Structure 1
Amino acid sequence: MSLSIMSTERLLLREMTKGDVGHLLTIFSDPEAMHYYPSTKDEKQTIDWIDWTLANYTRFGVGLWIVEDKMTGAFLGQCGIVPQEIDGNIEMEIGYLFVRSVWGNGYATEAALACKNYGFEQIKLTKVISLTDVNNLPSIKVAERIGRKKEKTIKKWGKEVHVYFASL
């Protein structure tokens, strides 16, 4: 049984487990959902992703969490707080990635806002960021909807990425 982290009006966010490989592959194997990532992921890369996430839980006390429909338990995507290196410093990023069939329902905004509040209220972060591909307008809109402002544009993962931030 995985640990529930938080819930919103419509969503439950819980810890990722090794049993989530199939769920995550619905996103990772979809070329459109993965358009702003370097490539799609196969099963082994998905297991590596879960291992990275579990290591973040241990090392930082946060990571990406599985997002489920609160009423049905259906897998919707992942959202959480992950460490990212920016200009030689570790910053905490709110990251999100959802199954394409549920895009446009406000789930990313709802989950990201819950993670932002969790970061400030529960774990006492003073700043959270989001990294968005400069061409990923839906992700940029999510960052802006939850009150983050563009701080700068950097080169990361071999491309131009906006750094959005919110602070207390």
Structure 2
Amino acid sequence: MSFTIVVTSHVNSGLEDEPARWGSFFGSMAMSNLVPMSMMSTLQTARLILRPYQESDREAFVSLNCDADVRQRMDGPLSLDSADSLFSKILAAERTGWSFSWAIVSKAGLEYIGHAFIVGGEAEDYELGYLFVSKVWGQGFGTEAVTRIVQHGFDSLGLDRLVATVDVGHARSIRILEKTGFELEETKEEEGCPYHLYVARRPTPL
């Protein structure tokens, strides 16, 4: 289960470019009123801890991204070398103090169960993405994680809008988006594959 906030489905097809796309994100933050994050924030929900990555997560991260079931809607699994290289880039970004990528860990057993990130997208939009190991699908972790990250994006990062894409017909991810405040904006097509663009906007103060 995954989709990008622009989170699993059509969404996370851009996961391999995640570190490179942080550049536009950080540049936009420097030129805006967004709150700069000099340190990676650890987020929590009732059942999850979303924390910075550490070297000990490498094997689990590589396994997640080489899993054909997990990445079936993301252009297929990564190779071992590609997944390992991506993990190294994530760790390097964290050392700069500018990283918006989280290891998702269950509070029950402190087990690594997924990956989440926010990156800069097109037209000054910001994308959130995530992946979960297949054994925890259907337990509500996606909704829980997305809800917390969206809150963090609006309340702590100062974002006004988050986008997410999802393959047409990917009912599970569509339900997660709609339950966490995203609304369908338009349906597009890329390389013959139709997908929905969903948008979440910062709530207007009463």
The TM tier, using the shorter chain, reads 0.7 to 0.9
Larger Rg: 2
Change (3 A) 1:17 1:156: farther
CA distance, structure 2, for counterparts of residue 54 and residue 47 of structure 1: 11
Q: Which residue of 1 aligns with 2:78?
A: 41
For the pair 1:31 / 2:68, whether they are aligned, the reply is yes
CA RMSD of aligned residues (A): 2.6
TM-score by length of 2: 0.70
Change (3 A) 1:83 1:19: farther
Q: Which residue of 2 aligns with 1:161?
A: 195
The letter of the residue matching 2:154 is: F
Higher RCO (CA-CA < 8 Å; seq separation 6+): 2
Which structure 2 residue ranges, 5 or more long, are not aligned?
Answer: 1-39
Q: Which has the higher helix share?
A: 2
Q: Which residue of 2 aligns with 1:75?
A: 112
**Of 172, 185, 188, which aligns to 1:138?**
172
- The number of residues matched between the two structures is 164
CA distance, structure 2, for counterparts of residue 105 and residue 157 of structure 1: 32
| Mean Cα deviation higher: 146-155 or 13-22 | 13-22
Q: Which has the higher strand share?
A: 1
Decide whether the 8 Å contact of 2:62 with 2:87 is kept in 1: no
Decide whether the 8 Å contact of 1:154 with 1:161 is kept in 2: yes
Change (3 A) 1:91 1:9: same
CA distance, structure 1, for counterparts of residue 162 and residue 82 of structure 2: 27
Percentage of identical aligned residues: 27
Decide whether the 8 Å contact of 1:12 with 1:69 is kept in 2: yes
Tell me the CA shift for residue 146 of structure 1. 0.3
The letter of the residue matching 2:141 is: Y
